[in-house]
Structure 1
Amino acid sequence: MTRKANPQGTDNVLADLGFDDAEELSAKAALAVKLNELIDKRDLSQTEAAAITGMTQPKVSQVRRYKLQNISLERLMQALVSLDQHVEIVVQPARRAHAAGITVAV
């Protein structure tokens, strides 16, 4: 994760801060927010969440603290599916008003 200069603001604060992988980090963060909401709603401990999602307790702890550098998008999506969520990936041409990229809607 390296930073680059980006003097003009965008819709992505991580891009504005200069992270090369800003789109992926934003997608991961959106999935982690939903995952954490589900863990809270079900009042699961980290150990219980790990057992349900197939993640280790330390990985669940990383998600809970939004330390997502070592967790793949796929792993986060699989964890959501294990908590009875439907994850849908849509690929479509980029619109002129929006550059090509990754968006997660939860």
Structure 2
Amino acid sequence: MNRGDNVQATTNMLANLSLDNAEELSIKAALALRLNELINQRGLSQTETAAITGMTQPKISQIHRYRLQNISMERLMQALVSLDQCVEIVVQPARHARCAGITVAS
């Protein structure tokens, strides 16, 4: 990259790294962050979390370490529901062409 190159940064750090699946990784990370927060707040072990969510302990360990390659967004959302969370997906027109995409808020 040269000094004269025009690079537009986004608020998504993963997209700034030019990863092909940056948006998906960002969503998974946000879901995993909330899941890990809940696990810590409740003082659950990985084994207890696995029993509640129906996942295996190794999968919970992967989530704890944010190694999310083999875990789907759907599975992360199901785990949040298992921990008494309401996961809401809202589809609406983008106000600006630049803001089209997916966001996760907690």
TM superposition score normalised by structure 1: 0.90
Aligned to 2:16: 16
In the comparison of the two structures, how many residue pairs are matched?
A: 101
Q: Which runs of 4+ in 1 moved over 3 A?
A: none
1:44 corresponds to which residue? 44
What's the TM-score once normalised by structure 2's chain length? 0.90
Question: Contact 1:52 / 1:82 at 8 angstroms: preserved in 2?
Answer: yes
- Which of the two has higher C-alpha Rg? 2
Gaps of 5+ in 2: 1-5
How far apart, CA to CA, are the structure 1 residues paired with 2:72 and 2:13? Answer: 20
Query: Which digits, 9 at most, give the CA deviation of each residue in 1:15-63, with x for residues without a partner?
Result: 0011111111111111101100010011111111000011110100000
Q: Percent identity?
A: 75
Q: Distance in 1 between matches of 2:51 and 2:45?
A: 10
Question: Unaligned stretches of 5+ in structure 1?
Answer: 1-5
Residue 96 of structure 1: how far off its partner (Å): 1.1
* Contact 1:7/1:16 (<8 A) preserved: no
Over aligned residues, Cα RMSD in angstroms? 1.4
CA distance in 2, matches of 1:58, 1:95: 41
State the alpha-carbon separation in 1 of the partners of residues 99 and 105 from structure 2.
Answer: 17
C-alpha distance in structure 1 between counterparts of 2:32 and 2:42, whole Å: 15
Counterpart-to-counterpart distance in 2, 1:53 and 1:88: 18
Answering whether residue 62 of structure 2 is matched by residue 62 of structure 1, we say yes
Structural mapping, 1:90-105, within 5 Å: 90-96=90-96, 98-105=98-105
